[in-house]
Amino acid sequence: MIGHGFLRPGTIAVATLGLAAALIAGCGQNGGTPSAATAPTVVKAHPYKIESDLPNALAFFGNTNVFEGTVDSVLPNVHAVDVLDTGETIEAVYTPVTITIDTVYRGKLKAGSEVTIRSMGGEAGGISYVIHEAPAKETFQPGSRVVIFGGELVRVDSESAPAITPNFVYQQVGGEFVDATYADGPTNGDAPSAAAVAEVRAQLRALPSAPQRD
Amino acid sequence: MVNPVTRRILGTALAAMVGSVGAVVIAAGPASAYCRTGMTKWNNTTYSKTLGVDPSFPTAMRTGLSNGLTQWNRSGSTLRYTTPDYTSGWMIYAFRGSHSYSPLMGNAPGYAQTMVSGSTHSGGNLILSNRFSWVNGSQNISGGVADVQTVAVHEVGHFTGLAHPWIGHCTDGTSYTPAEQASVMTTINTGTRRTLNSDDVAGVTAIY
């Protein structure tokens, strides 16, 4: 979340005071929907959307952890707060999704273990966090089989346990893995990228052990 | 002023109507058909918008950031962005920029976040991810290389009130026109795209 009210240079830090109040009010709260009398503050996020087809997902330099697994449980929404290294604070709401890992293609996670990913978007702690550039919530139904191309397993400042934000998500539908990275699809209503399960697994097994970058 | 979405729908309807009587045939959608689905606008244009940025922001990225902001200043629009203010007092600004990263951002090289009140916003955070290598040239997002101006002008477009124009995200019922496809608000498979096109200019001048 960001400061309240537009301020000209030199104006006192009303924005900072507003942010502090919001942090005190909302930090770390889980689940629940605020009453109608206290409508949530709406925060809209607009990440620069990137290509999510399979070649780009496989090649993306930020895939620290790549694994295949089965959705185990979907937990109540979390209001997360992170302080950046420049001192700014950003807030978001996500749904924690626990996944039992079947196969690890990259990274230090272990098959058979459980990991939590962040399904971004939702409402908690007085914040309604709106984002379209994230998987649809229904992607993560218990029992769903998914491939997660994820970032680091880390804890942001308000979290008590680490989690992974997916860079790309592929969901098994029948005999294929289908791109489920974005709730509103890859672009222009085009059909999402899809490939046979065996073909995707072969490409995943061929991934280098560490991400490559230019 | 006619609501931009309403204007766009009217324009499409007019084109279809004229075509149906055979007087003029317009095969494509309107030349300027920017999208505003789900977007808010600045709450006022009384003051120029100044991005307050921490002095740690890399010097080599500053020209691209400034260009990404100020080219949204167009005649016919009351919206004005100034060049960023690099200051240790950046927290006094409601519109803030940084070269940093949070796992909450996911895979994005650039991230715009606004706090919304009704149909407007009064500030926001613009973050250029420090996980990417930033250049003033060709970008390769999968490889971790991003062009400053390409990403900045797109994200400032969101602050300005413009949405991703493609079908799927844009739900105003109109087609994804060639002008929209060439807009800085389109990011998929576009590579480096640094300069507003007619669609972007039409958008900012209609909103403000």
Which of B113, B150, B185 should we substitute to test contact with A (largest number of A Cβ atoms within 10 Å)?
B113
Tens of pLDDT, residues A48-84: 999 999 999 999 999 999 999 999 999 999 999 999 9
d(Cα A52, Cα A80) in Å, to the nearest integer? 25
Is A77 within the bounds of a domain? yes
The answer to whether A205 faces chain B, any CB pair under 8 Å, is no
Count of structural domains, chain A = 1
Which residues in chain A are closer than 8 Å to B68, comparing Cβ atoms?
Answer: none
**Burial (CB count within 10 angstroms: exposed 0-12, middle 13-18, buried 19+), residue B76:** exposed
CA distances from A110 to A69, A103, A113, A175, B187 (A): 11, 8, 6, 25, 35
Q: Is the pLDDT of residue A5 over 60?
A: no
Q: What percent of chain A is modeled with pLDDT above 90?
A: 75
Which residues in chain B are closer than 8 Å to A154, comparing Cβ atoms?
Answer: 103
Is A40 within the bounds of a domain? no
Six token digits for residue B21? 């009587």
Is A64 within the bounds of a domain? yes
What is the count of residue pairs from A and B with beta carbons less than 8 Å apart?
Answer: 215
Give the CATH superfamily of B4-207.
Collagenase (Catalytic Domain) (3.40.390.10)
Residue range(s) defining the domain that contains residue A114 = 48-120+134-205
Q: Domain locations in chain B?
A: 4-207
Tens of pLDDT, residues B70-121: 999 999 999 999 999 999 998 899 999 999 999 999 999 999 999 999 999 9
ipTM, interface predicted TM-score of the complex: 0.84
Which residues in chain B are closer than 8 Å to A90, comparing Cβ atoms?
Answer: 102, 104-105, 113, 125, 127
